[in-house]
Structure 1
Amino acid sequence: MTASPISPAKEKETILVVDDEASIRRILETRLSMIGYQVVTASDGMEALDCFRESHPDLVVLDVMMPKLDGYGVCQELRKESDVPIVMLTALGDVADRITGLELGADDYVVKPFSPKELEARIRCVLRRVEKEQVAGIPNSGVITVGDLRIDTNKRQVYRGDERIRLTGMEFSLLELLVSRSGEPFSRGEILKEVWGYTPERHVDTRVVDVHISRLRSKLEDDPANPELILTARGTGYLFQRIVDPVAPEGA
């Protein structure tokens, strides 16, 4: 009898948890380890940057209010060198404060006090999206040209002329979704479901979408205040301008 070949075990994904409260670090380290993640922790912003560079995590859970360097500062530093997914933890009650992290490049946020199950669900959604990015693009994927903008859906890169425009994974996924149905609007609910993986019953703040749209416009539009590529569908959501030229196969 011949034994069946054993499939190689999937390498554990690493999560960096950054919080100055030891109790939160312990809870998250225990729970995330129990569901299969490798967990690295840091207690302040400077330690977080060191841990990030040493461990190269797949995702960062980042508290806002911390000594030495706050979560906003850490987020800014990480975005200078990496597109790693970032989920921010904030105890700040003002919505504007919550949105600040998104504007600086975070992918999502969770408000303290939070349910560990809710955070785990958001982590799964983000990592599932990253995994899908690594294996597939949109149908008829290739290079899409819009004016001087070139969107490579295979390499998940965007260029203006010869200059690469750096997008986070979430930003590219959002752009890819809009381009996949150019000229047709997506509601904010559709975008949350397709890009973030959130179902309607999750009651997620749709301003997450608005902030990411704003970030995309700031990077892609000549005049973000008067966008010509990513348009607002009043009362509905957003759409990418209709693309007339067919998608060019990569290398064509």
Structure 2
Amino acid sequence: ITVGALRLNPWQQSATLGERTLPLTPTEFRVLLCLAERAGTMVSYAQLVRCAQQYDASEHEAGELIKPHIHHLRQKLEPDASAPRYILNVRGKGYLLSPVGA
């Protein structure tokens, strides 16, 4: 799966941004894969948890579960994690992977 300069290989569970390999945990990879499969579309907290962890949760619980993974992904993916270009927050709803940032 390719979204801009981001390439994900589900078979090897590997991700690269440009020429740089991203050192992702299995959960981080699954979260990023869920976002990449729906690039440009908002994915709710509950959808992300269901997709990445096969776990049904309320939106509130899912938000609390997914936020640390998004934080770590941004640290590994974004040039400036405090001003994200790739993984964008839709306040109170979910996240989207920006095809423009990627």
TM-score, normalised to structure 2, is: 0.82
Matched with 1:150 is: 7
Larger relative contact order, structure 1 or 2 (CA cutoff 8 Å, min sep 6): 2
Matched with 1:163 is: 20
Matched with 2:78 is: 221
- Give 1:165 deviation, angstroms: 1.4
Structure 1 letter corresponding to 2:84: P
Map 1:190-201 onto structure 2 (within 5 A): 190-200=47-57
1:231–1:240 Cα contact (<8 Å) kept: yes
- What stretches of structure 2 of length at least 5 have no aligned partner? none
Give me the whole-angstrom Cα distance separating, in 1, the residues matched to 2:34 and 2:81.
19
Query: RMSD value over aligned CA atoms?
Result: 2.1
Larger Rg: 1
- Give 1:150 deviation, angstroms: 2.9
Give me the whole-angstrom Cα distance separating, in 1, the residues matched to 2:68 and 2:25.
13
- For residue 223 of structure 1, give the secondary structure of its aligned residue in structure 2: coil
- Give 1:205 deviation, angstroms: 5.5
Number of residue pairs matched by the alignment:
99
Greater CA deviation, 183-192 or 154-163?
Answer: 154-163
Map 1:113-152 onto structure 2 (within 5 A): 143-147=1-5, 149-152=6-9
Give me the whole-angstrom Cα distance separating, in 1, the residues matched to 2:61 and 2:30.
18
200 and 145 in structure 1: CA distance in 2 versus 1, 3 angstrom threshold: closer
Give me the whole-angstrom Cα distance separating, in 2, the residues matched to 1:226 and 1:209.
19
- Give 1:199 deviation, angstroms: 1.7
Structure 2 letter corresponding to 1:199: D
> Identity rate of aligned residues, in percent?
30
Structure 1 letter corresponding to 2:78: E
Give me the whole-angstrom Cα distance separating, in 2, the residues matched to 1:230 and 1:199.
22
